Amino acid sequence: MSYSQDDFLDQVAARLASYKRRQCQVLLQLLAYHCAEYATAAKVATEFPAQIPHLLALREEVVSQRWQYDPMAAAVAALDDIADQDDYPADMLGENLAFYAASATWLNLHDGKNRRFRQETLGCVELYLDMHIGIAADNSEGVLLDYLDDERRWRKHPHIAAVCTQLLGWLDQAA
C-alpha cells in the first residue's frame, strides 16, 4: 500500500471511478455528518457574521440527519450569495469549509445534471483529509511535521492513519 497523500487520494479516486451518483451521495452524507462534529457552533461563530445563521441552519439539518433538500438548499444559496459579496473575507475555517463543501456537493448531486460528481466528491474527501491533517498538527506540537516531511511516513501518524482507515471504511459502506 502506498503512503503518500497523493497516492492515497489516487486510491480513493480509483474506487470512486465506478461509483454511481447515489453512492457518492452516501459518502458525502458521511463526510458532512462527521465534519459537523468538528464544525461546532463555537467554530461556526468565528466566521463572517452574515454566514453564521446559515451555517448553523445547515449544520442543524445534517446533525439531526433530516437531510431535507429545501432548507439545506436555502442555506447553501445564502452562503453562496454572501461569498459573492465584495466585502466577503474569502476564507473559512478548515472544519467549516470541509463541512460546507460536503453538504453543498451532496445537494448538487440531486439535480442529476452534474457530470463531475466523482471529482467533486474526491475534492470533499481531500478537504476532509486536510481538515484532519490540520487537527493533527494542532494537537501534536510539531510531531506531525516529522511525519509530513517524509511522504512515506505521513499516513503512519496515529490520527492520520485512523482517518484514512475511516475513509476507506466509508467507501466500502457507500459502495
Q: What is the DSSP letter of 3?
A: -
175 vs 88, more confident:
175
The CATH code of the domain that includes 125 is 1.20.1590
Long-range contacts of 23-26 (CB under 8 A, 24+ apart): 23/174, 23/175, 24/109, 24/117, 24/118, 24/121, 24/174, 25/106, 25/109, 25/110, 26/173, 26/174
For 117-158, what is each residue's pLDDT tens digit?
Answer: 999 999 999 999 999 988 887 776 666 666 666 666 777 778
Amino acid found at 67? W
Counted domains in the chain: 1
- Chain centroid to CA 74: 19
Residue carrying C-alpha cell 456537493: 105
Full-model pTM: 0.90
For 80-104, what is each residue's pLDDT tens digit?
Answer: 999 888 777 767 888 999 999 999 9
Residues 6+ apart with CB under 8 A from 170: 27, 30, 31
For 14-60, what is each residue's pLDDT tens digit?
Answer: 999 999 999 999 999 999 999 999 999 999 999 999 999 999 999 99
Domain encompassing residue 160: 5-174
3 vs 76, more confident:
76
What are the helix (H) ranges across 109-148?
A: 117-139, 143-148
Whether the predicted pLDDT of 11 surpasses 60: yes
Whether the predicted pLDDT of 1 surpasses 50: no
